[in-house]
Amino acid sequence: MNNVLDNEIGTRLKALRTMYKLSQREVAKRSGVTNSTISLIEQGRVSPSVDSIKKISNSFSLSLVEFLTMNVEEDGDIFFAKEDLLSFFEKGAHLKLVGANRKDRKLRFLHERYEQGASSGEHMLSCDSEEAGIIIKGQIELTVGQASRVLGEGDSYYINNNIPHRFKNVGKGDAIIISAETPPSF
């Protein structure tokens, strides 16, 4: 193999080993490849045989193709403190978006808090996505097309966002929703 590919294999091996929280010694034991070989592969100092790569990939319960093609690079931050969330506020609706800056984000995950009487807006919302959520606190009236229902703590919904819809806090005090949408509309 060439040196560039050797470095990719080494980088991939180290990333997987770290992801699975395994030592080099543990990967060597599981794969039947020597500990020094694992170390040299990770450093890009040895060109591993196809047989060695197969043994190593099997130790992670991966096929050779999966090992060589899976994306092991981090897409960005994994953990977010509450002050890291992107916050929006409009007319009594407080929205906090998790992972706003993740590269190629395919999900919108929100913590939504509606003050008493607040809504998602005067106009019905619609976009090309699906959304699901659960009411954590309070009472939310969800209108989807011509259908409307008041949801309380523990109730949930799953909607096609192509259908015009609106959320409104009809209870006393704040209402909190945790929701996810894919693909993200923002």
**Do 107 and 161 fall into the same domain?**
yes
Element (H, E) at 14: helix 3-19
Average pLDDT over residues 95-110: 87
Does residue 74 lie within any of the structural domains? no
Residue 16 lies in a domain: yes
Are residues 100 and 161 located together in one domain of the fold? yes
pLDDT at 2 over 50: no
Among 24, 43, 69, identify where a domain stops.
Answer: 69
Tell me what pLDDT residue 30 has: 93
Least confident of 5-9, 54-58, 165-169, 177-181: 5-9
Q: What is the CATH number of the domain that holds 52?
A: 1.10.260.40
Question: Per the domain annotation, does 75 fall within a domain?
Answer: no
Compute the C-alpha angle 71/73/76, nearest 5°.
125
Place of tokens 């690079």: 73
What CATH code is carried by the domain that includes residue 89?
A: 2.60.120.10
Is the model's pLDDT at 16 over the cut of 60? yes
Supply the pLDDT for residue 99. Answer: 87
Query: Into how many domains does the chain fold?
Result: 2
- pLDDT for the residue numbered 74: 60
Q: Is the pLDDT reported for residue 60 higher than 60?
A: yes
Q: Does residue 80 carry a pLDDT above 90?
A: no
Instruction: Give 97 or 3, the one with higher predicted confidence.
Output: 97
Stretch 121-140: mean pLDDT: 95
Residue 12 has pLDDT above 90, yes or no: no
